[in-house]
């Protein structure tokens, strides 16, 4: 006979499955819920009763016209109570904090971008900046902080998930910025910080688990260089939560100067400032902080390449070659089924592809080049938010019982957008 | 209530725990077995009865003197039946096949090294060479092929575990050498092929699970360069079983010529031929096949360095610097808790260490250098066999029911050596 701990585990898991199904597929009848989840009618009835009691789901009447031969009561559907709880997603990048609020039904109904000064942000001042920004954001959204069950944070740079801090990031002047502690204390909600590319990885697995499972890698070329690793069916964070620092894996000893202060990191060849530096024919030792870069500069550079500008084309060609070497190392060490390339720089993939394939061929023995595919994913910043929401929702489904749920309050519901859209 | 599949799973697991405990700790009474495994007396009795019925364990009388106050029957102990089944371990390296035979009690009682000609070995001829060598080996050991339950194979080079073949290896002239299929067909036993360094990794986890768990990496510097990755509590093989090819991860684009035909692989700076090439001041494009190398040459080179030979010292210094860069990439991508360095070249670690630390510092941003330790493990070739035996025993404990066990036959039992010694 299963022990009590096992039974609780199974019930929790079935509960999660039902909540996720309603979130993905929308309102449905108990019988359809049973068909889709493959849970028995008795299990569906027991779990949905409990969820109804706790106000996490609610019954509505179907507005579908009844089939002509149908008789009796209108069909009763179950749906998630959108106001049961909410999730705050926070993305921190250079000079900006992107905030969004997602209700229990998975609809993101309020978003805002808040500027801050990366150049002056450090461990002493950033926590209060962040907490203040979230508090104002919730006020503007008309949402009660009590409703916030989970806070998901994605940051660019080296993130230590276990310690809940950003070790080092171009978004901060200081190092070791505490994030999780201050947010949990201020809002009494669970909080998790992840590397931004990990969140893209999570979103890919969430939206297409057939294709993105097992062992795959995501490389994001953008203002920086990010990586997410999904290994043996799980997001991989390393022993301290700092794994997948592709951008700071060395490419050439003593090579181009990186924003981290070291020389020859992949980022120093692949990121926005590296591309601008190369296209401007500046020495590769030029200090990245002296280079006017960012996504806007990257966009202009891509436009120049599209207009056949020789320096811009050469810069993307050379970056493609370096990328090929970087991917070859990933294949040798990780042996992924798929490598996903994404980020703002992917608009320039056509200018990089040939040299990238050349680099892969130069760097990798033929037998290891046969077993993986490269997917180029049109860039959509929303992937990071979707991954944050998917991860936070899944934590919430496991942990939120609704025991302390309060009477319904009204939340603004305009311009709702599905998380899985 | 737990489903039948779950109950079978739990019973199998408890059975494994009891077999492993008897193998690690030696003969013991049922009551001690219960204390150590934390299984209930009823479970211990049920499982040991079943194991006795199937001849996998046997009862013996303790020869310990009874305590003065003890009364009644002599204490009855349970021990593994050493003749219940056996495991063949095979290590394939350049020009040699190392074979050993381990009985059900985990005692390796017969070992042999068989030469073969790597230069002429290919997919067409090697399978019959190998099957013939194993058949002769079993005859010499006086062991029946029927007793062989598991065959574990470790090979140097690029191994595809899922397909059961060696993709490419310095041990073979040809590529894609089938190993698992021919052995399973000839001996009707389960067979698994692994990268040799993976087996060291397995052996470390087996012998010191406190220290070697979670996420750690093993680097073996020897005739070649090997790596094993233990990620999130599991040996990691990648999507196709070819992960952890540290030796063929590129170090410098267009760099030193590697045995694999590519330029700049880490192996082309760190392996036996690379060190001999550097110490002989040969150009780094010298074909590795034209260099007389191997473990003996490596040993001579270490002796020269110990005698203060400048060329030998410089070769190890330079290799140490490259190693530091290679490890830095592992830390950036994998974030291991520990990196274990081992292999025949570790005798020269004193000549490499300073440059290795220098390389790590040059290649890795400071924050990422704080969270891992490097263990240098005195080299012992036996680790590979121990890992093979540990892995094969654990497969056997899960799968071998003893249903088809035959009456006891006598196996030579001389010079038995414990697997966990």
- Whether B412 shows a pLDDT value over 60: the answer reads no
Residue of B nearest to A2 (CA): B2
Q: Cα–chain-centroid distance for residue A280?
A: 33
d(CA A256, CA A225): 15
What pLDDT, on the 0 to 100 scale, is given for residue A74? 61
What pLDDT, on the 0 to 100 scale, is given for residue B417? 40
Residue keyed to tokens 């959108």: A82
Residue of B nearest to A361 (CA): B262
Q: Which of B227, B237, B368 shows the shortest C-beta gap to A158?
A: B368
Structure tokens at B415: 């010079």
What pLDDT, on the 0 to 100 scale, is given for residue B65? 57
Cβ contact (<8 Å) for B325 and A231? no
Cβ contact (<8 Å) for B234 and A232? yes
Residue keyed to tokens 């029957």: B73
Largest CA-CA distance found in chain A, in angstroms, rounded? 79
Answer yes or no: are the C-beta atoms of B161 and B241 closer than 8 Å. yes
- Among A57, A150, A166, residue whose Cα is nearest residue A100: A150
Q: Which residues of B touch A246 (CB under 8 A)?
A: 332-333
Residue A248 forms contact with B (CB below 8 Å):
yes
Where in chain B is CATH 3.30.420.40?
86-196+384-418, 201-376
Rg (CA), chain B: 24
Residue of A nearest to B250 (CA): A363
Q: How far is CA A162 from CA A178, A193, A387, A408, B406, in A?
A: 11, 9, 19, 35, 53
Where in chain A is CATH 3.30.420.40?
86-200+382-399, 209-376
- Among B217, B244, B219, B56, residue whose Cα is nearest residue B160: B244
What pLDDT, on the 0 to 100 scale, is given for residue A407? 41
- Among B34, B101, B108, B91, residue whose Cα is nearest residue B417: B108
> For domain B4-80, is the CATH number 1.10.10.10?
yes
Query: What single string gives the DSSP state of each residue in A155-217?
Result: ESSEEETTTTEEEE-TT-SSSSEE-HHHHHHHH-SEEEEEEHHHHHHHHHHHH-TTTS-SSEE
B382 vs B301, which has greater pLDDT?
Answer: B301
Where in chain A is CATH 1.10.10.10?
4-80
Give the number of C-alpha atoms closer than 13 A to the C-alpha of residue A75, restricted to the C-beta side: 16
Which one-letter DSSP state was computed for residue B13?
A: H
CATH code for the domain defined by B201-376 = 3.30.420.40
Burial A55-80 (b: 16+ CB within 10 A, else e): bbbbeeeeeeeeeeeeeeeebebbeb
Going residue by residue through chain A, which has 421 residues, state the pLDDT in tens, using 9 for 90 and above: 445 556 777 888 899 999 999 998 999 999 999 999 999 999 999 999 999 999 999 998 876 655 555 555 567 899 999 999 999 999 998 899 999 999 999 999 999 999 999 999 999 999 999 999 999 999 999 999 999 999 999 998 888 888 999 998 889 999 999 999 999 999 999 999 998 899 999 999 988 889 999 999 999 998 789 999 999 999 999 998 889 999 999 999 999 999 999 999 999 999 999 999 999 999 999 999 999 888 889 999 999 999 999 999 999 999 999 999 999 999 999 999 999 999 989 999 999 999 999 999 999 999 889 899 999 998 887 889 999 998 999 899 888 887 765 544 333 333 334 333 3
Residue of B nearest to A8 (CA): B1
Cβ contact (<8 Å) for B243 and A335? yes
Rg (CA), chain A: 24
**What ipTM did this prediction achieve?**
0.83
Cβ contact (<8 Å) for B362 and A330? no
Summarised one tens digit per residue, pLDDT across range B200-248 is 999 999 888 899 999 999 999 987 899 999 999 999 999 988 899 999 9
Which one-letter DSSP state was computed for residue B257?
A: B
Q: Which residues of A touch B248 (CB under 8 A)?
A: 332, 364-365, 368
Residues 197-226 of B with CB under 8 A from A: 214-216
d(CA B331, CA B372): 8
Cβ contact (<8 Å) for B335 and A368? no
Q: Which residues of A touch B328 (CB under 8 A)?
A: 249-250
Q: Options 3.40.50.920, 3.30.1600.10, 3.10.150.10, 3.30.420.40; which CATH number does A86-200+382-399 get?
A: 3.30.420.40
Give the number of C-alpha atoms closer than 13 A to the C-alpha of residue A276, restricted to the C-beta side: 21
- Whether B5 shows a pLDDT value over 60: the answer reads no
Q: How far is CA A101 from CA A23, A105, A106, A419, in A?
A: 16, 12, 10, 11
Q: Which residues of A touch B246 (CB under 8 A)?
A: 332-333
Q: How far is CA A372 from CA A340, A367, B179, B238, in A?
A: 11, 11, 23, 11
Average pLDDT score over residue span B52-79: 76
d(CA B365, CA B360): 9
d(CA A213, CA B209): 29
User: What's the burial of A253, exposed, middle or buried (CB within 10 Å: 0-12/13-18/19+)?
Assistant: middle
Q: Which residues of A touch B265 (CB under 8 A)?
A: 365
Q: Which of B368, B369, B370, B375 to mutate to test the interface with A (most CBs of A within 10 A)?
A: B368
Q: Across the beta sheet with A148-155, what order do the strands follow?
A: A108-115, A96-103, A86-93, A148-155, A190-195
Residue of B nearest to A10 (CA): B2
| CATH superfamily of domain region A209-376 | ATPase, nucleotide binding domain (3.30.420.40)
Crossing angle between the packed helical segments B30-37 and B4-25, to the nearest 10 degrees: 110
Length of chain A: 421
d(CA A247, CA A225): 5
Q: Which of A6, A216, A329 shows the shortest C-beta gap to B249?
A: A329
What pLDDT, on the 0 to 100 scale, is given for residue A6? 65
d(CA A296, CA A299): 5
- Among B152, B201, B203, B198, residue whose Cα is nearest residue B179: B152
User: What's the burial of B67, exposed, middle or buried (CB within 10 Å: 0-12/13-18/19+)?
Assistant: exposed
- State the pairing for strand pair B177-178/B165-168: antiparallel
d(CA B144, CA B140): 10
Write down the mean pLDDT value for chain B: 89
Residues 151-180 of B with CB under 8 A from A: 158, 167-168, 175-176
Residue A210 sits at φ, ψ, to 5 deg, of -60, -50
Question: Partners of B114 in the beta sheet?
Answer: B97
What pLDDT, on the 0 to 100 scale, is given for residue A72? 57
Cβ contact (<8 Å) for A367 and B232? no
CATH code for the domain defined by B86-196+384-418 = 3.30.420.40
Residue B262 forms contact with A (CB below 8 Å):
yes
d(CA A368, CA B159): 10
Residue of A nearest to B325 (CA): A250
Residue A237 forms contact with B (CB below 8 Å):
yes
Summarised one tens digit per residue, pLDDT across range B364-403 is 999 889 899 999 998 887 889 999 999 999 899 888 887 7
Structure tokens at A213: 């499972």
Cβ contact (<8 Å) for B335 and A240? yes
d(CA A179, CA A167): 10
What pLDDT, on the 0 to 100 scale, is given for residue B2? 45
Residue A253 forms contact with B (CB below 8 Å):
yes
Query: What single string gives the DSSP state of each residue in A298-313?
Result: HHHHHHHHHTT-HHHH
Residues 317-336 of B with CB under 8 A from A: 325, 328-330, 332-336
Q: How far is CA A287 from CA A93, A265, A274, A293, in A?
A: 20, 14, 10, 12
Cβ contact (<8 Å) for A372 and B239? yes
Summarised one tens digit per residue, pLDDT across range B125-179 is 999 999 999 999 999 999 999 999 999 999 988 888 889 999 988 899 999 999 9
Cβ contact (<8 Å) for B333 and A245? yes
Q: Model-level pTM greater than 0.90?
A: no
Largest CA-CA distance found in chain B, in angstroms, rounded? 80
Q: Which residues contact A239 (CB under 8 A, 6 or more apart)?
A: B214, B215, B216, B335, B336, B337, B371, B372
Which one-letter DSSP state was computed for residue B396?
A: H
Q: Which residues of B touch A264 (CB under 8 A)?
A: 363
Residue B5 forms contact with A (CB below 8 Å):
no
Residue of B nearest to A369 (CA): B242
Q: Which of B249, B254, B365 shows the shortest C-beta gap to A332?
A: B249
Residue B253 forms contact with A (CB below 8 Å):
yes
Q: What SS3 state is found at B131?
A: helix
Cβ contact (<8 Å) for A6 and B2? yes
What pLDDT, on the 0 to 100 scale, is given for residue B415? 37
Strands (DSSP E) found in B85-233? 86-93, 96-103, 107-115, 148-155, 158-160, 165-168, 177-178, 190-195, 216-221, 225-231
Identify the H or E element spanning A398: helix A382-399
Residue of A nearest to B246 (CA): A333
Residue A286 sits at φ, ψ, to 5 deg, of -60, 130
Q: Which of B240, B246, B335 shows the shortest C-beta gap to A335?
A: B240
């Amino acid at each position: 006979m299963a022990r009590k701990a096992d039974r609780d585990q199974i019930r929790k898991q079935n509960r999660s499955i039902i909540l996720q199904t309603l979130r993905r597929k929308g309102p449905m009848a108990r019988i359809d819920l049973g068909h889709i989840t493959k849970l028995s009618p008795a299990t569906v009835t027991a779990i949905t009763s409990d969820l109804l009691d706790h106000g996490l789901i609610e019954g509505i009447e179907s507005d579908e016209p009844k089939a002509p031969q149908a008789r009796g009561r209108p069909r009763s559907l179950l749906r998630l109570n959108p106001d049961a709880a909410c999730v705050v997603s926070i993305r921190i990048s250079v000079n900006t904090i992107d905030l969004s609020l997602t209700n229990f039904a998975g609809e993101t109904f309020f978003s805002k971008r808040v500027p801050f000064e990366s150049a002056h942000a450090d461990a002493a001042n950033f926590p209060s900046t962040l907490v203040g920004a979230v508090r104002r954001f919730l006020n503007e959204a008309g949402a009660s902080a009590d409703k916030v069950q989970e806070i998901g944070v994605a940051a660019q740079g080296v993130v230590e998930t276990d310690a809940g801090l950003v070790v080092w990031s171009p978004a901060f002047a200081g190092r070791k910025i505490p994030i999780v502690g201050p947010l949990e204390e201020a809002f009494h909600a669970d909080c998790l910080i992840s590397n931004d590319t990990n969140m893209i990885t999570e979103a890919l697995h969430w939206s297409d688990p057939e294709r993105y499972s097992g062992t795959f890698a995501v490389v994001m070329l953008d203002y920086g260089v990010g990586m997410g690793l999904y290994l043996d069916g799980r997001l991989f964070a390393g022993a301290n939560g700092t794994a997948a620092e592709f951008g700071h894996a060395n490419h050439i000893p003593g090579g181009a100067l990186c924003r981290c202060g070291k020389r020859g990191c992949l980022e120093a060849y692949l990121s926005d400032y590296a591309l601008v530096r190369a296209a401007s024919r500046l020495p590769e030792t030029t200090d990245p902080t002296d280079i006017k870069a960012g996504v806007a500069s990257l966009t202009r550079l891509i436009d120049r390449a599209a207009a056949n500008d020789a320096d811009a084309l050469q810069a993307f060609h050379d970056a493609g070659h370096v990328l090929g070497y970087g991917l070859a190392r990933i294949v040798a060490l990780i042996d992924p089924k798929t490598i996903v390339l994404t980020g703002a720089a992917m608009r320039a993939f056509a200018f990089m592809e040939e040299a990238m394939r050349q680099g892969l061929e130069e760097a990798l023995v033929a037998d290891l080049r046969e077993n993986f595919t490269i997917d180029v994913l049109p860039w959509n910043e929303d992937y990071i938010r979707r991954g944050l929401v998917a991860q936070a929702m899944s934590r919430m489904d496991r942990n939120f019982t609704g025991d302390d749920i309060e009477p319904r309050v009204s939340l603004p519901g305009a311009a709702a957008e599905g998380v899985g859209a």
